[in-house]
Chains A and B, each alone.
Chain A
Amino acid sequence: MLEVHQVDVHYGDIQALWNVSFRVEGGEIVSLIGSNGAGKTTVLKAISGILSLTKGSVTIDGVRSDTIKAYQIVEQGVSLVPEGRRLFRDMTVIENLELGGYIERVRPQKNENLEWIFQMFPVLDQRVHQLAGTLSGGEQQMLAIARGLMSEPKLLLVDELSLGLAPLIVKHIYMTLKEINRSKKMTILIVEQNVRLALEISDRGYIIENGRITGEGKGSDLLKSDKVKTAYLAMG
């Protein structure tokens, strides 16, 4: 359903991605793993249209998405949960969720979507009128994901959700994502530095190094591979 084909991305004169190609099938959870500065976040920003490509194409369900504006890509069914959460801190939880469901297509389903999201993340239900900036780190991450889900995406992109959170909370959030994937058949692309956790819940994974895809495989196979063990799991 997502096809990234021979993509180059530049920040000014500096090239960040080199001929990146990969695909994600409908209903899959795929993780993109790599070290700091490898280009993981850049890939997600390119898919969501915030960065423009210098070469290549991004296709979602057969429709090119790199030729339209970033805000229109949300209508195409892609939602990015950005690194660092990027909540609207001075607005309430419910306002953040309403903005997540801003596009016209999903507005009529607002109440059903809220109900479903509060089932997934009951803690948000108790905090609806609290300012987003006053939530704890874990709650903020849950709100960021919930906000991303409000636009009823076909493809959810999740960037470094473990950043600055306690391992138990991270695990809990990943289990919730897995549950959403299963119950809604939602396709999820995860970018994560916590390689073990990401591969454990993923169907497949891609390894990215210095802006290039250097490996791929099933999640369980990658976990066992020497390359991943030595480079990312410190088990060499």
Chain B
Amino acid sequence: MQILSYGLLNGALYSLVALGLSLVFGVMNYLMVAHGGLIMLAAYTTFWAFFYTHIDPFLFILVVTPLFFIIGWILFKILFQSLMKFPEGEKIKNSLLISFGLLLIFSNLAILFWTADERAVTTVYAGKVLDVFGIRLPYTGLGGVAIAIIVIIALHLFLTRTYFGKAIRAVSLDHEAATLMGINVNKVYLVAFSIGCALAGIPGVLTSLHALNPAISFDLTNKALIVLILAGVGSIKGVLIGGFFLGAIEAAGVYLVGTPYREVFGLILFVLILMFRPQGLTGKKA
């Protein structure tokens, strides 16, 4: 039970990690593998800001998220806008190559600025736990679950209740038909990409509360891709379920086999889903 609950706490983080990647891939077919790198940079930004200010790191979400929205905006203008005119398959390939380069740049920048040492934000309530029927739940982890659920509901409401959110979904379904509705597809791509990057800010802050080193960027991208496959492309609800599912599977694996094999279970799951249920856990058959 204890291990499973840790798994679920991790799962909330995994959902958040995958959310931005899933949005960007779903809307514009860009496979933005640098997403893990953005999360890592957001985590270092939080670490650094906390080091100087000692303000509660959860509050940094309000600063880091807009900051990464702007970073996303700039990245799109410089690197990703030119890919828009390519056919769908080319978009995936080219965005993969560009963003993989970015991922390498990000992790090397992190080594340069913050060295490869492991760091973490240590809050006053770090290590404090809530005891529920003998199950110990750390406050930071619970905060993560609450934030994951709030963010996913907020994103869901944005995509289903606002004109611009609906425009984003329309563009992801048929961008030419969306143009005929008077929707500026360029702007939708730019904003959706920037929101995707902004969504790296939130898991970044949460990651900074755990162990932080430049190599986690690859690990985070890995997790995001597994959740994306679990969720099925373009499913926000699926991301929530997929994240928790991955967390639970990892926890079970750690319990049954041992911590060194933690990553293995996620990857086995990745392969199994692709073989037997390529539309994802919650997705419909194409």
Q: Is B180's CB under 8 angstroms from A102's CB?
A: no
Q: Is A102's CB under 8 angstroms from B169's CB?
A: no
Q: Is A74's CB under 8 angstroms from B180's CB?
A: yes
Across the interface, which residues of B come within 8 angstroms of A88, CB to CB?
A: 169-170, 173-174, 177
Interface string of B179-212 (1 = CB under 8 A from A): 1111111000000000000000000000000000
The answer to whether the Cβ of A91 comes within 8 Å of any Cβ in the partner chain is yes
The answer to whether the Cβ of A82 comes within 8 Å of any Cβ in the partner chain is yes
Q: Is A98's CB under 8 angstroms from B166's CB?
A: yes
Question: Which residue numbers of B lie inside 8 Å of A, CB to CB?
Answer: 163, 166-167, 169-170, 173-174, 176-185
Question: Which residue numbers of A lie inside 8 Å of B, CB to CB?
Answer: 48-50, 69-72, 74-75, 79-80, 82, 86-91, 95, 98-100, 102-103, 107, 147, 151
| A70→B169 CA distance, assembly (Å) | 19
Knowing A95-B166, A107-B163, say if A48 contacts B173 (CB, 8 Å).
no
Chain B proximity of A164: nearest CB distance (Å): 18
Across the interface, which residues of B come within 8 angstroms of A90, CB to CB?
A: 169, 173
Chain B proximity of A57: nearest CB distance (Å): 21
Chain A proximity of B196: nearest CB distance (Å): 20
Across the interface, which residues of B come within 8 angstroms of A95, CB to CB?
A: 166
Across the interface, which residues of A come within 8 angstroms of B180, CB to CB?
A: 48, 50, 70, 74, 79-80, 82, 86
Quick one: which of A49, A91, A102 has the most chain B CB within 10 A? A102
Across the interface, which residues of B come within 8 angstroms of A82, CB to CB?
A: 176-177, 180
| A79→B182 CA distance, assembly (Å) | 9
Across the interface, which residues of A come within 8 angstroms of B163, CB to CB?
A: 98, 102, 107
Q: Is B185's CB under 8 angstroms from A71's CB?
A: yes
Knowing A88-B170, A91-B166, A95-B166, say if A102 contacts B177 (CB, 8 Å).
no
- The residue in chain B whose Cβ has the minimal distance to the Cβ of A90 is B173
A-B contact pairs, 29 of them (CB 8 A): A48-B180, A69-B184, A71-B179, A71-B184, A74-B181, A75-B182, A82-B177, A86-B174, A86-B176, A86-B180, A88-B170, A88-B173, A88-B174, A90-B173, A91-B166, A91-B170, A91-B173, A98-B166, A99-B167, A99-B183, A100-B181, A102-B163, A102-B166, A102-B181, A103-B181, A103-B182, A107-B163, A147-B181, A151-B181
> A-B pairs with the 3 shortest C-beta distances?
A74-B182, A86-B177, A103-B182
Chain A proximity of B164: nearest CB distance (Å): 9
Quick one: which of A70, A88, A151 has the most chain B CB within 10 A? A88
Knowing A88-B169, A107-B163, say if A99 contacts B181 (CB, 8 Å).
yes
Across the interface, which residues of A come within 8 angstroms of B183, CB to CB?
A: 71, 99, 102
Interface of chain B, helix or strand or loop or mixed? Answer: helix
Chain B proximity of A117: nearest CB distance (Å): 15
- The residue in chain A whose Cβ has the minimal distance to the Cβ of B234 is A90
| A48→B180 CA distance, assembly (Å) | 8
Given pairs A50-B176, A102-B163, 5 additional interface contacts (CB within 8 A): A48-B180, A82-B176, A90-B169, A99-B166, A99-B170
Quick one: which of A70, A80, A95, A107 has the most chain B CB within 10 A? A70
| A132→B115 CA distance, assembly (Å) | 54
- The residue in chain A whose Cβ has the minimal distance to the Cβ of B173 is A88
Chain A proximity of B171: nearest CB distance (Å): 10
Q: Is A151's CB under 8 angstroms from B177's CB?
A: no
Across the interface, which residues of A come within 8 angstroms of B167, CB to CB?
A: 99, 102
Across the interface, which residues of B come within 8 angstroms of A103, CB to CB?
A: 181-182
- The residue in chain A whose Cβ has the minimal distance to the Cβ of B284 is A90
Across the interface, which residues of B come within 8 angstroms of A50, CB to CB?
A: 176, 179-180
| A91→B177 CA distance, assembly (Å) | 13
Across the interface, which residues of A come within 8 angstroms of B181, CB to CB?
A: 71, 74, 99-100, 102-103, 147, 151
Chain B proximity of A55: nearest CB distance (Å): 22
Q: Is B169's CB under 8 angstroms from A91's CB?
A: yes
Knowing A91-B169, A99-B166, say if A70 contacts B174 (CB, 8 Å).
no
| A234→B163 CA distance, assembly (Å) | 48
Across the interface, which residues of B come within 8 angstroms of A107, CB to CB?
A: 163
| A107→B173 CA distance, assembly (Å) | 22
| A147→B174 CA distance, assembly (Å) | 15
| A71→B178 CA distance, assembly (Å) | 8
Residue from B173, B174, B176, B182 within 8 A of A102 (CB atoms): B182
Across the interface, which residues of A come within 8 angstroms of B176, CB to CB?
A: 50, 82, 86
- The residue in chain B whose Cβ has the minimal distance to the Cβ of A79 is B180
Across the interface, which residues of B come within 8 angstroms of A75, CB to CB?
A: 182
Chain A proximity of B184: nearest CB distance (Å): 5
| A80→B183 CA distance, assembly (Å) | 13
Across the interface, which residues of B come within 8 angstroms of A80, CB to CB?
A: 180
Chain A proximity of B232: nearest CB distance (Å): 12
| A90→B185 CA distance, assembly (Å) | 19
